[in-house]
Amino acid sequence: MNELEKWEFGSLEWCEFAAKTGVNLIKQAKLDLSKFEWGFSEEYTHIPKRLLAGRDRVGWHFMIHDRKVSGGASLSKECLELPGFHVAIEWALIAHASSFIYDLKGQEKRMNDERKLFEELEIVGIRNNTSIFKSKPLFPPVIGEALMGIGGEGLHNITARRLRHSPELKDFPQTEYGVPILTKMTDEEKARFYKLLQL
């Protein structure tokens, strides 16, 4: 894989890279795998057709199961049945922000910005459910530390460096970490944004 290659968020190539990165970070941590039955998955809904690459469902996963670490550019039923972190979210809500590099403070700021966006969408009746998790998120501390990597250069920042911006999302008002700001959008921008969400 070319070190300089970049892909759009949710593309098959990027999902493959993200899953491989998660697997590698867990393996490098040399955890006692017998202590864990845990999975991580992200599903992206309402994704542009050009990024589907023949997939009915778009996402990726990695997991610790039966003392082994595995993953891939798929939404494994086996992984989804494990306790862990499983999320399904509209592509346009997080695609742009996912390409930004940040530390723990930046991560907290982005999460707050996203929470505000979800609440604003709910207030205007666009999104009825602000919960994106398929189950209560579970991140055992040692797994969280493993995914943070060395010096904070963990899963998010590694995968963010491999993203190129999607043209559909570049012109919207956004926070410092790339989260769309609904209240600053013009009527035309809101119409385009809602179309991306297929609402």
Least confident of 6-20, 116-130, 145-159, 172-186: 116-130
SS3 of 141, please?
helix
Query: Quick check: 137 and 82 in contact, CB under 8 A?
Result: no
Nearest to 118 by CA among 139, 90, 142, 86: 90
Spatial separation of the C-alpha atoms in residues 106 and 122, rounded to whole Å: 24
Per-residue pLDDT tens over the stretch 144-199: 999 987 666 799 999 999 999 999 998 999 999 999 999 999 999 999 999 998 87
- What is the arithmetic mean of pLDDT over 128-149? 84
Confidence grade of residue 132 (pLDDT, cut at 50, 70, 90): confident
Write the CATH number of the domain with boundaries 12-103+129-166.
Answer: 3.30.1050
Confidence grade of residue 4 (pLDDT, cut at 50, 70, 90): confident
Spatial separation of the C-alpha atoms in residues 51 and 36, rounded to whole Å: 33
Query: Quick check: 73 and 29 in contact, CB under 8 A?
Result: no
Kindly state the DSSP code that residue 180 receives in the 8-state scheme: B
Residue 69: per-residue pLDDT: 98
Residue 151: per-residue pLDDT: 66
pTM over 0.75: yes
Per-residue pLDDT tens over the stretch 39-90: 999 999 999 999 999 999 999 999 999 999 999 999 999 999 999 999 999 9
